[in-house]
Every structure is written in structure tokens, then in C-alpha cells.
Structure 1
Amino acid sequence: MRALLADSTRSALLLLATLLSACQTPLSQLQELAAAHERQVENLPGSPFPLVLATPRHPVPGQRLRVYLEGDGHAWATSSQPSLDPSPRQLLLAELAFTDPTPNLYLARPCQFISAPACTTALWTNRRYAEEIVHSLDQALDQLKARYDNRDFELVGYSGGATLALLLALRRDDIAQVQTLAGNLSPRRWTATLKLTPLDGSLEPLDQRERLARIPQRHLLGDADRVIPRVLLDDYRRALGQADCLEAAILPGVGHAEGWPQAWAAWREQPLSCVP
């Protein structure tokens, strides 16, 4: 009888823990993960969008600062219904940032983890790469540079964060290099290839091919990725043409959200061979 009661108690506690975990907001989950890695989560002021930033608790040294740019997050609740909260439900990129020994920050995109009056569903659906989104992140990099006095940035963009990383690099002169993980490198070609609704109102990196080709960049893609199939990486390279410094690798056994902790650990400290 006691054994049965003990088993029942354990099951009840397990169920309670599961329910409590499910009730956590995305922000509280991010704060909990950050605290476990001695990081702190803060709101970076901005108009019209404040942004959520996760930083180490100790000073960030170095002349180059690595910034992890979050992807599209939970953009759609169903195939036809936009989400009311685009915050990512899986904190994959935050985990990659928090376990990276390179001096780095994690930066969410507008309307993730924190809302603002200017947040509308269009900003994480068809206008997810719009001018106001890129401008907000551009302002954030200015603030970070003033705070840390770094010389330049390395941008690491995951999924849709890859588009934002390339768009930021196109308008700034202090982006030393861009690395993308499961990256959407061309929203226009992505929607056309997968027969999705065009992202009207979003910017397209390949519209500035000449400048884009001069940006040092590395793109890592899993061979099991069904969200960003390999053909899109091949198509991007052909469309870009002759690039000054472009590397790419297809990672075996890696999906869109699977296998990245091990894969990125093997790549994150490898410099681009074409960067002096």
C-alpha cells in the first residue's frame, strides 16, 4: 500500500511539474535558461520596439562581439491563423548562445518576449523582414556598440534571423562577418520554392547582390532540414554570383531544429578561411 501511495505521489508531482512548466511564459522560460548559464535578460529600449537582450553577468571583453539573432519564432498558430505571440517556443538559439564561450549576446527580434503598441501580426508574418524590423535591430546594434565599445560585430542568424543578419550587414560597415544556421537566405526564393504566400512588405537581401557578395559569410545547413531545403542554399549561391568570401557546409543528420548543439560546437570557433 505504501509503495502504491509513493508511486501515486511521485506521479502527481511529475504531473504538477509538467503543468507548471507548460504554464510558463516564453519570457520566464528564457529568464530561467539564462539564469542557469549565468546570463541576465533585459529590455533594450527602442522606439517603436523595445527588444529583449540576454547578456553575460560579467563584462563582455574583446573588440569583436558575436550577436545571435533569433529567428521567426512562433509566427503561425495554425497554417492559416497567425500567432498572437511570436516568441519562440523552443529556445534553441538561446541555448547555442549561452553555451558558446566566445563573447556574445542573444538578441530577440521585435515583438518576441515583449510586446509594444506597434506590434501587429503582419510584423511576424508577411512583413517579418520589413524595414521597421531591420531598423529596430540596427538601432540596437548602435546601442550595444556604445555600451561595449567593440570595434565590430559578428552576426549569427538562425532560420529567419539569417535574413535579418544579411540585411543588417548590407547597411552597416562594422559587420565583420555573418554566419547562418538553417538560414533563410532569400525570402523571395524560399516562398517561391515551397509554394508559400509571398512575404509582401519584406526586404530581400539578393536585391543588393553586388554589396552582398562582398560580405564575409558562412552558411551551415542540415541535410535533414525540411524547412530550408538544400536547393535553396544552392540557388542562393548561384544567384549571388562571384562572392569575395563565402563558405557553406551541409551537415549530416542535422534538421531545422535538431542536432545543432553538437554541430555548432564543432563549427563555432572555426574562422572563415577567407578572412585574414
Structure 2
Amino acid sequence: MFNPKKRLLEYFPTAFIFFALMTIPLFLGACSSSQGRFEALRDSVHLRQDSIEAMGFRVLVLEQPGLFTQGENVRIYIEGDGRPWIAGGEVVAADPTSRNPLALELMTQDDRGVLYLGRPCYFIGSSEPPCTPQLWTSHRYSDKVVQIMTSALVDWLVRHPSVADISLVGYSGGGVLALLIAERVTQVSQVVAIAAPLDHQRWAELHGYSPLSGSLNIASLNSWRSDVKRLAVFGEDDRNVPYMDMRHGLPPNTEVLILPGVSHRCCGNLGWLSILQHLEK
């Protein structure tokens, strides 16, 4: 999560094209490293890679085949915001995909993690229409993004009719999206939001970031499903998304778990396994 200059929004296309032309050689090396990390995590637990067409977008999915049985709750992971801005927040990224996909890392530790649900324009298609930089900057939690991901998830559920009960696990901005998607998918019974900016307006003001003007804000929503269990996990040492600045945005009856000594990048092997044990209870 970077500090984009507000004035750049007026010159968005120019800055985007200029940077893409001037930094391609440097960017290729970073992409190679990022892709290698992604592939290593994917292959470590033999995830099958595919994509789902949703509202004109290709959404990446990584599936753990044969892990679930009929009637069992399964967990679906959603990644954080990645790198929407680069160069110290001066320029919008050509590809927002995270170099260190933490949600995928957590999923590889989970023997019930069935699906890694991508975000539109992440991992695949960022340079292709209908992707635009808005979808990973100002509109990253927009109704459109939520609709696309909801459509992709519903499509996957139709293909897997034995899955009737799911938990969504989202890291950082993925936690925001998990909370929003859960309101639209009836099979969701539980949401775990890790280090999620529950009030993105307050979060942007706190860091001096450009406001996420086209995004839905958890703190501003008044109606929530009563049949969904919600757990919000925060790191005690998280300076990016501090709990004290986000607690007013918690949906009603949300359980809170504060992890001592943990920063924004949650949680370490033992920490995540402990949280999973907590969920099982």
C-alpha cells in the first residue's frame, strides 16, 4: 500500500504510459521474481490453475482438487491489494499483482484451503481490456469489483454442487472484499478478515493517500447478514492498518483477535496455524 500523489489522478493515462515505456527493462526482472514466488507456492501444494470468465474479465482461480467432501465447510482465500502504485507512490503500477502473495502463502498451510480466488486484473489480464488502472487504485473495492468476484465465485460453486458451506479468508484489502462478497453469496457462513482497512477513508487520511473515491467502505455500511460469523484479525504492531483506527468500522458482532508482536504482514507459520485451530473451535 503506497502513497500516491493526488495530483497524478488528473494525468493518470499519461503517467501510466510514460512509466510503462521507460521502465520495462527493470520491471521484467521484478516480474520474473514475483512469478517465481507465485509458482513455487502454487506448486508446493499441487494447486490446479484455471481462470473463470466473469463480466468480461478473466479471474484467476487456484483449486485444491479433491480436498473437500459433501457438507464440509471449505475455505476460500482472497489476496491483498498488492502493488497498485510504485516508485514510492508516484506512478500507478502496470500490474498490481503482489510480489509476495500472503493469502496464497497462508492457504498452503491450510489443509482445508480449497480455492484461491483472484481479483480482476491481478495475475492475469492487467494489460488487456477491459482492465483499467482504476480497478486496482481508486475503485479497488468498488461494487463492480465485488460483482465480478461474486460472479466468479458463484460460477465455481455451480461447478461444485457438493460445496454448500464456505468460509472466506481475506488479507488486507482482500479482507474488505471478503466481507463484501459474503453479503452476496448465500453459501458463505464465515469471514476472516486479516489486517483489513475497514474504513478506507480513515486509512487514506491516516497515511496521506489519495481517497478511494469509487470504493465501497465497510465503515459506512449499515446492513449486514445476521447468519454470518465474522472474525477480524489485527497485528498489535501493524502501523499500516492499526486496529485502534479501524475498530469503529467493525460490522456488528464481529469477533476481534489481536496478535501480539505481529505487523501488517501476518502471521508466521505458527500464528496462522493457531488461528486455524481457533476457527475449528
Relative to the length of structure 2, the TM-score reads: 0.81
| Farther-moved stretch of structure 1 (42-51 vs 133-142) | 42-51
Contact 1:60–1:148 (CA under 8 A) maintained in structure 2: no
Q: Aligned equivalents of 1:72 and 1:219: distance in 2?
A: 17
Q: Could you say which residue in structure 2 is the equivalent of 1:4?
A: none
**Offset at residue 92 of structure 1 (A):** 1.7
Could you say which structure has the larger radius of gyration?
Answer: 1
Aligned residue type for 1:183:
A
**Offset at residue 122 of structure 1 (A):** 1.1
Contact 1:166–1:212 (CA under 8 A) maintained in structure 2: no
SS in 1 for 2:139: coil
Q: Which runs of 5+ in 1 are unaligned?
A: 1-19
Q: Which runs of 5+ in 2 are unaligned?
A: 1-27
Q: Aligned equivalents of 1:179 and 1:75: distance in 2?
A: 23
**Percentage of matched positions with identical amino acids:** 31
| Farther-moved stretch of structure 1 (143-152 vs 264-273) | 264-273
Please tell me whether residue 247 in structure 1 is matched to residue 255 in structure 2.
Answer: yes
Q: Could you say which residue in structure 1 is the equivalent of 2:77?
A: 68
Contact 1:253–1:259 (CA under 8 A) maintained in structure 2: no
Contact 1:219–1:249 (CA under 8 A) maintained in structure 2: yes
Task: For CA contacts below 8 A with separation 6 or more, give which structure has more relative contact order.
Answer: 2
Q: Aligned equivalents of 1:143 and 1:31: distance in 2?
A: 24
Moved over 6 A (4+): none
**Offset at residue 86 of structure 1 (A):** 0.6
Contact 2:77–2:113 (CA under 8 A) maintained in structure 1: no
Q: Aligned equivalents of 2:30 and 2:223: distance in 1?
A: 47
Aligned residue type for 1:184:
P
- In the TM superposition, what whole-angstrom CA distance separates every residue of 1:167-194 from its partner, at most 9, and x where no partner exists? 1122333220110111122222322333
Q: Could you say which residue in structure 1 is the equivalent of 2:97?
A: 87
Q: How does 1:1-276 map to 2 (within 5 A)?
A: 24=32, 26-63=34-71, 64-78=73-87, 79-115=89-125, 116-149=128-161, 150-211=163-224, 215-237=228-250, 240=251, 243=252, 245-271=253-279
**Offset at residue 258 of structure 1 (A):** 4.8
> How many residue pairs align between the two structures?
249
**RMSD between superposed Cα atoms in Å:** 2.3
